[in-house]
Amino acid sequence: MILKNCLSYPNNDIIDIKIKDGFVSDDSDDDIIIDVGKNMVIPSFSELHIHLDSAFILDEDLENKSGTLEEGISLWDKYKKEKLNPSELRGRVMKAIHLLENNGVTRIRTNVDVSDPTLTALKEMMRIKNEVKNVDLQITAFPQHGLFTCTDNSELLEKSLELGADNVGIAPHLEDTYEEGIKSIKTAYDLAEKYKKNIDGHIDETDDPESRFIELLAKERIKRNFKGSVSAGHLTAMHSYNNQYANRVIGLIARAGIDVISNPLINMHLQGRYDSYPRIRGVTRIREMLDHGVNVSIGQDCIMDPWYPLGSGDPLDALFMALHAEPLMTPDLLEHSLNMITYNAAMAFGAKNYGYSYGSQGDFIVTDAKNPVEIIQYRHSRKVIRKGFLIKGD
């Protein structure tokens, strides 16, 4: 395939993109030539924080009446007990993956709840991972109830890593005590070192300004000189930190090289539920972290489940919310905000061959926009290229 007359992002150069054997090349067999007419062609999206195992389960029996994280967890537990099985999970997961694909996502990192003693969801997700062709799929073994709230949780997490999960998940703010939250972070690093895995945590997903596990996650990485990647999702408590402390901890995050994943759609919905007015927004301090050089990306998190009744599977929707919630509306911030669902997200995913250069994987989105702001503003139809093949669009 050759994509001719492409406007590149963020350099705004007019280039031709030649793809051969799935990768950007110096030449091509010229089987397919698409002249994009100097419209913007961007490297494909990466979805770094989503729960595919709970996607599309929302019905009237699972309505989250309080709108809280805690009630959502309770409803998910009910669903797992009464309805979850490999066949129905597969149908929902594949529906969600196809939705993401059609929106231009070719890398997905999904959290999978491993609190079930049978590990039903994890085992089926491992099978799906080995079958899908149009996305690169990573699995985070996610202890939905923390590691020490139940006797078997830490053992189930370790078993999940033995079965092949890619990342060690944690949720220290869900532990029964602060001491056990600290212990869960150290356990995650122990397991990551033992099994040579990365860490991908739900961290401080609460409005409580006293929830400060992110500083422990960052400091532990520095102390251990941990070589794997470490991602911190949500960080909504940071919204409520005093400014002096927030500035200090953001500097620590930057020094530790932690990848941060904000999930503004869900956090705008779930946070502030214990407030009247003024009500907490709950979206983490994206702009301040970007200013400190932290690698920040944007995640979808949920699609029609007990935590979120909507969800399009489109990273542009999540980015659009982030731009308003923070806000990130200056011309320069708008111009470069696509980084959070392209380059920044690919870096956090661990993609080694991303972009327009020789040897990069041939995954691109062909738009009808003339600049990145138009892509965000209008979100027009798009062609999706996966390893040099057109998987969506005419």
The answer to whether residues 55 and 304 touch, using CB atoms and an 8 Å cutoff, is yes
Q: How confident is the model at residue 61 (pLDDT cuts 50, 70, 90)?
A: confident
Helix/strand/coil percentages in the chain, nearest 5: 40, 20, 40
Q: What percent of the chain has pLDDT over 90?
A: 93
- Per-residue pLDDT at 212 exceeds 80: yes
Q: How confident is the model at residue 59 (pLDDT cuts 50, 70, 90)?
A: confident
- Per-residue pLDDT at 30 exceeds 80: no
- Per-residue pLDDT at 11 exceeds 80: yes
pLDDT of 379: 85
- Per-residue pLDDT at 247 exceeds 90: yes
Phi, psi of 16 (to 5 degrees): -105, 135
Residue with tokens 């990192």, as numbered in its chain: 109
DSSP codes of every residue in 342-355:
THHHHHHHT-SS-S
Give the integer Cα–Cα distance in Å for 378 and 391: 22
**Averaged pLDDT, 170-174:** 97
**Averaged pLDDT, 229-247:** 98
- Per-residue pLDDT at 155 exceeds 90: yes
pLDDT of 204: 98
pLDDT of 138: 98
Phi, psi of 295 (to 5 degrees): -80, 105
pLDDT of 245: 98
Give the integer Cα–Cα distance in Å for 76 and 55: 11
Q: Is 63 among the residues known to form the active site? A: no
- Per-residue pLDDT at 220 exceeds 80: yes
Give the integer Cα–Cα distance in Å for 265 and 268: 6
The answer to whether residues 40 and 49 touch, using CB atoms and an 8 Å cutoff, is no
**Diameter of the chain measured on Cα atoms:** 63
Whole-structure pTM value: 0.96
The tokens describing 336, both together, are 């470069």
Taking the domains of the chain in order of start, what are their residue ranges?
2-44+354-392, 45-349
Give the integer Cα–Cα distance in Å for 383 and 167: 31
Q: Residues 277-333: pLDDT tens digits?
A: 999 989 999 999 999 999 999 999 999 999 999 999 999 999 999 999 999 999 999
Catalytic residue among 71, 124, 205, 220: 205
List helix spans (H) across the chain.
69-82, 86-102, 120-131, 153-163, 178-195, 213-224, 243-256, 264-270, 286-291, 315-325, 331-336, 343-349, 372-378
**Averaged pLDDT, 198-202:** 98
Q: How confident is the model at residue 154 (pLDDT cuts 50, 70, 90)?
A: very high
Assign domain 45-349 to a CATH class. Answer: alpha beta
DSSP codes of every residue in 213-226:
HHHHHHHHHHHHT-
- Per-residue pLDDT at 110 exceeds 80: yes
Q: How confident is the model at residue 32 (pLDDT cuts 50, 70, 90)?
A: confident
Q: What percent of the chain has pLDDT over 70?
A: 99
Q: Which CATH architecture has domain 2-44+354-392?
A: Roll (2.30)
pLDDT of 393: 85
